[in-house]
Amino acid sequence: DQQVKQNSPSLSVQEGRISILNCDYTNSMFDYFLWYKKYPAEGPTFLISISSIKDKNEDGRFTVFLNKSAKHLSLHIVPSQPGDSAVYFCAASVRWGNNRLAFGKGNQVVVIP
């Protein structure tokens, strides 16, 4: 049972433009959401997180938006840079539980110079 879903497996975007990645979840107990970036042959690298008490969190070029009623979150990267080319994973957890992370399948992002 896939509790975290990432559709549109791949995304190509021109350098300097905005990349938008979407993520949906089904478990209403999730209260903490994270985005990770992964290069080949490396482990996932933490990018940004958001607690369910917020609807937006910003860190430099990365902004995550959370819509709890729709059980939907998105990651905006602006401006996109060639180094952003990677697989992006959305993850969710119940922070007051054992904080196991449930991951989506990932989105491949290619930034075209």
Partner 1 sequence: DAGVTQSPTHLIKTRGQQVTLRCSPISGHKSVSWYQQVLGQGPQFIFQYYEKEERGRGNFPDRFSARQFPNYSSELNVNALLLGDSALYLCASSFGTGAMNTEAFFGQGTRLTVV
Query: Judged by CB, which is closer to partner 1: 54, or 105?
Result: 105
Q: How far apart are CA 76 and CA 9, in angstroms?
A: 16
* Chosen residue from 11, 78, 101, 110 binding partner 1 by CB under 8 A: 101
110 near partner 1, judged by CB under 8 A = no
Q: What gap in Å lies between CA 76 and CA 72, rounded to an integer?
A: 13
Which residues in the 45-84 window bind partner 1 by CB under 8 A? 45-46, 49
Q: Please, are residues 75 and 88 in contact by the beta-carbon 8 Å criterion?
A: yes
* Binding flag, residue 95, partner 1 (CB under 8 A): yes
